[in-house]
Structure 1
Amino acid sequence: MFNAFRSILTCGLLGLSTVGQAQPTPSSRRDVADLYASLCANCHGPKMEGALGPSLVDDIWKSGADDAGIARSIREGQLASGMPAFSGALSPQDTRALVIYIREQGARRRSEAASIAKPVADKPVRSELHAFKLETVAEGLDTPWSVAFLPDGRMLVTEKAGRLRVVEKGRLLPEPIAGTPDVWSRGQGGLLDVAVHPDAAKNGWIYLSYSDPGANGSAMTAIVRGKLREGRFVEQQTLFRAPPGLYRTGNVHFGSRFVFDGKGHLFFSIGERGQKEDAQDLSRPNGKVHRIREDGSIPKDNPFAGREGAIPSIWSYGNRNPQGLARHPVTGDLWETEHGPRGGDELNRIEPGRNYGWPVITYGMNYDGTPMTDRTAQEGMQQPVLHWTPSIAVCAADFYTGSRFPQWKNDLFVGALAEQEVRRLRIENGKVVHQEVLFKDVGRVRDVVSGPDGYLYVVFNDPDRLARLVPAPALEPASGKAPGAKP
């Protein structure tokens, strides 16, 4: 996808003509754009399109084909080509930030040149394996966050401000469900995920995650369940609520998503609430994936259930802001998507007791363009199965289990907020072997769900609506797949 520096440069990567070791400069929190402009643009051009030196965004490379190759070229130089080594001039963090910045510019160039579907007015479009239309199901929503399906065919949609709405026969009912919890609706906080128990036709349980208000402007993600009766949320039970002293101020990174495992357990995620170090602290619930029983009790085989001082529901830790959880329909593996900072959005296969690294290791940098760390790996910490650098602002995830799009069966679909995309990921033997962007630029994708009717449902913000992908048979390729598409 991305490649590293090609044979590198007549005048040196950072625009210096002196051959040899660059002079050391003090390490600082330098903005990577300013760093590039002052040291790199003279040779590679202000937009990395090439000047005295070659382009860095044309995907033609001769040396190094990964992040490590780019970093090595920066550190060690290419003396035969006139490029000095910069290990003494740039900190490892600055070097990593430059790698990310080059990735961002290359991705932007490719995105501008790509032809990706932008479905409008239910017009059919063709993807690699299936043609589809994007069909509006419900409008009039206010920042919808999640959708779930009741056994009787109705749909539940959460609105971030705290309302639980019902969509019935393609119509958004005017009145929200009464009796839902009070939420802390600020910034990224509010009413978040909704899930319907797999056996809800018998037991009626509906699960909600939300930002629970605490003292002095603090909040933390909490989990409740209840039942619907005559337009009200009744028989409410609190399944998870952190001790008040562990609540955090700030309005970011609440998570959260639900997954049932079919064995009586419920998984849910909580973001680290903007407190990076908390993700490594087992005495705090934020920055973790949790497992409880469906009634809120703690399974005895949870990895930290018997550890003194640890939150017993923790299943994994070192997770930044997980807003996607999905269980593979064949293997049963738990998959998670989480927001990175600037770069380093992750797809992880979640295993019990594992440390997923944040903030010790990351493929991203600070939002302001300053370096965060040069470490992308460390012993005892899990590597992501896939990372998106630059970020796409990956959000929800779900495996497609329907029959209306047979060649998508068991593929993972993820939504992206910033890039306004839905992506299809084919996973084989625990690895992503192919990615396809189905469409983009029709709204921020907050949720994507495989519906019980075989359609793929999408929750959009800006503009706010619930839509679904439906087959467009007239456009189907005769072979059922586009030329060059991976099986």
Structure 2
Amino acid sequence: MKIRLLYSILVLLIISACSMPEGPVPLSGEAPEAEGWDAEVLISELEHPWSVAWLPEGDNNMLITERPGRLRIVERGQLQPRTISGLPDMYVSGQGGLLDVSLHPNFEVNRRVYLTYATGDEDANRTTVGMGELHEYELQNFREIFRVSDDKSDDQHFGSRILWVSENKFLLSLADGGNYVRFDGGWIREQAQNPETHLGKVLKLTDEGEPAEDGPFLEDENALPEIWTTGHRNIQGLALDPESGRVWANEHGSRGGDELNLLKPGANYGWPEVTYSREYHYTRISDETSKPGMEDPKVVWTPAQAPSGLAFYTDSRFPDWQGDLFSGGLVGEQVRRIILDGETVTGEESITLGRRVRDVRQGPSGYLYVLTDHENGELIRIIPSY
């Protein structure tokens, strides 16, 4: 009898620990399929592509990063066999390698290409930003302009995306360092709440990698001056609404609890003190899903989407999609249309591709483009079906 009672108590404790946390944000699950679109594969045979950036010549000329450390160039719609030279040494393992690529807003004059990538080794690594000048098939004068303040171990959670918010300033998303990784006597994820480290933050930097002069923590002697927002797990999508100036971000949760956030300077987004996520061994990470002084997400995806690239759509090729966000999903194998009314999410739709989606971008001519994360990754264009 005692054994049965103890077993029943244990089952109740497990159910309680594993139940979905309640909070002010409804959990988003399945969404109806979007209509009026079709997909065409433009390029294949990309090895775990991570990011795409267009060159000034139009839709058919672009740079694509491959996580193993290659920068590829597409000319007149054709993937060139020759890769771009002049790249730095990188730490390529797990989630580390060559990540984001972004062109300076004044690229046509200065030819600057910015890259985010992992450097170091298994025991001491970090996210790094560098830039070089693109001439033909070479990045010339490449130099590191920023690196995360603290080294970490393991090969998880580097972030990272670059989002230009003015002619000479960009936001940089940085992840919390990993799961079950020890740091300074605790879990490394706890550093997302520490304003004296870059881990789990979004930064605002100049095009030389220095703190922007309008950062919200410039006068705080207990915080790094380049910090823009805190309390993030692993942002891999940043998008700007060019009319309102709103900045949106999607970030990975842990076994559910993925988030879409509206970023505000100086705001704290809670991780890991406030979260809908669970540990990978199923227990809750925190009993709190909301707390005064911390921002609530706009969307919580549970089950996990594993959100990746994020795009704000502005073109008339899909008139009904104007002003909406498009979020890639690695686990969801889809792009999720997030329907907006200003700062309010009013609905969602799915563009199901059946492939792990790593990046989503709006191209120069107004089509949506998707990179899929496989050993034989693809560049896919989303076009109207009517």
Question: Is TM-score (shorter-chain normalized) higher than 0.5?
Answer: yes
Decide whether the 8 Å contact of 2:177 with 2:200 is kept in 1. Answer: yes
Aligned to 1:164: 71
The one of 36, 41, 45 aligned to 1:140 = 45
1:132-166 CA-partner distances (Å, limit 9, x unpaired):
22111111110000111011231100000110001
The one of 116, 120, 125 aligned to 1:209 = 116
1:220 to 2:126 alignment = yes
CA distance in 1, matches of 2:167, 2:215: 14
Aligned to 2:367: 455
1:260 to 2:131 alignment = no
Deviation at 1:115, TM superposition (A): 7.6
1:230 to 2:143 alignment = no
The structure number with the bigger radius of gyration is 1
Of the structure 1 ranges 339-348 and 458-467, higher mean CA displacement relative to structure 2 is found in 458-467
Map 1:21-420 onto structure 2 (within 5 A): 35=11, 90=13, 95=16, 97-99=18-20, 116=33, 127-128=34-35, 131-153=36-58, 154-213=61-120, 217-243=123-149, 246-274=150-178, 275-420=188-333
CA distance in 1, matches of 2:32, 2:286: 35
CA distance in 2, matches of 1:401, 1:345: 25
CA pair 25-283 structure 1, distance change in 2 beyond 3 A? farther
Of the structure 1 ranges 304-313 and 355-364, higher mean CA displacement relative to structure 2 is found in 304-313
Aligned to 2:181: none
1:371-415 CA-partner distances (Å, limit 9, x unpaired):
322110112111111111221111110111223212211210000
What value does the CA root-mean-square deviation take over the aligned residues? 2.4
1:433 to 2:346 alignment = yes
Decide whether the 8 Å contact of 1:100 with 1:343 is kept in 2. Answer: no
Deviation at 1:282, TM superposition (A): 1.2
CA distance in 2, matches of 1:96, 1:264: 47
Residue 464 of structure 1 aligns with an amino acid whose one-letter code is: G
Aligned to 2:185: none
Hey, which of these two has a bigger chunk of helix by percent? Answer: 1
Decide whether the 8 Å contact of 2:17 with 2:282 is kept in 1. Answer: no
CA distance in 2, matches of 1:241, 1:99: 37
Q: Secondary structure at 1:387's aligned position in 2?
A: strand
Deviation at 1:24, TM superposition (A): 12
Aligned to 2:336: 423
Q: Secondary structure at 2:46's aligned position in 1?
A: coil
Q: Percent identity?
A: 40
Residue 147 of structure 1 aligns with an amino acid whose one-letter code is: V
Deviation at 1:309, TM superposition (A): 4.6
Aligned to 1:53: none
CA distance in 2, matches of 1:206, 1:321: 23
Aligned length: 366
Q: Secondary structure at 2:71's aligned position in 1?
A: strand
1:295-314 CA-partner distances (Å, limit 9, x unpaired):
22222221222333522211
CA pair 25-358 structure 1, distance change in 2 beyond 3 A? farther
Q: Secondary structure at 1:401's aligned position in 2?
A: coil
Of the structure 1 ranges 216-225 and 268-277, higher mean CA displacement relative to structure 2 is found in 216-225
Decide whether the 8 Å contact of 2:106 with 2:167 is kept in 1. Answer: no
Q: Secondary structure at 1:465's aligned position in 2?
A: strand
Decide whether the 8 Å contact of 1:419 with 1:440 is kept in 2. Answer: no
Hey, which of these two has a bigger chunk of strand by percent? Answer: 2
Residue 257 of structure 1 aligns with an amino acid whose one-letter code is: R
Residue 447 of structure 1 aligns with an amino acid whose one-letter code is: D
Q: TM-score, normalised by structure 2?
A: 0.89
CA distance in 2, matches of 1:313, 1:25: 52
